[in-house]
């Protein structure tokens, strides 16, 4: 019988496989997307190249976004340009959106980018 920990590791392994496939597919197709303005994604990274770790994030998307009890509204930057890099050695995925480079993109935004590409290109 599988313990909860083994089930958890199995599930994480499946997620990693799905995200790795998405990264490869992004690399194959992102240049075919003509219009990135509808991409809705929160990009964040942890930077620890020099000094203490800092977290930076930007919510890209069309129009303002409202969230929370008080419907806090934030302006978002439309995506105009997108470049992607996949490191074949360690599978780290990075993007440059509107000239800002984001290193070590996590699973959720990677999947949001792939989902947008699938929909735009009707794959």
pLDDT at 50 over 90: no
Task: Return the percentage of the chain with pLDDT > 90, whole number.
Answer: 54
Give phi and psi for 28, each to the nearest 5: -70, -30
Q: How confident is the model at residue 73 (pLDDT cuts 50, 70, 90)?
A: low
User: What is the pLDDT at residue 48?
Assistant: 46
| Cα atoms in the Cβ-side hemisphere of radius 13 Å centred on 32 | 14
Considering the chain, what is the average pLDDT of its residues? 85
Q: Judge if pTM exceeds 0.85.
A: no
């Amino acid at each position: 019988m599988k313990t909860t920990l083994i089930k958890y590791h199995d599930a994480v392994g499946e997620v990693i496989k799905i995200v790795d496939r998405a990264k490869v597919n992004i690399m194959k197709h992102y240049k075919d997307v003509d219009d990135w303005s509808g991409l809705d994604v929160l990009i964040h990274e942890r930077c620890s190249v020099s000094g203490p770790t800092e977290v930076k994030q930007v919510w890209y998307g069309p129009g303002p976004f409202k969230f929370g009890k008080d419907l806090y509204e934030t302006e978002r930057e439309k995506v105009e340009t997108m470049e992607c890099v996949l490191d074949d050695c360690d599978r780290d995925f990075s993007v440059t959106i509107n000239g800002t480079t984001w290193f070590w993109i996590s699973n959720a935004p990677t999947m949001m980018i792939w989902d947008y590409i699938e929909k735009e290109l009707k794959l």
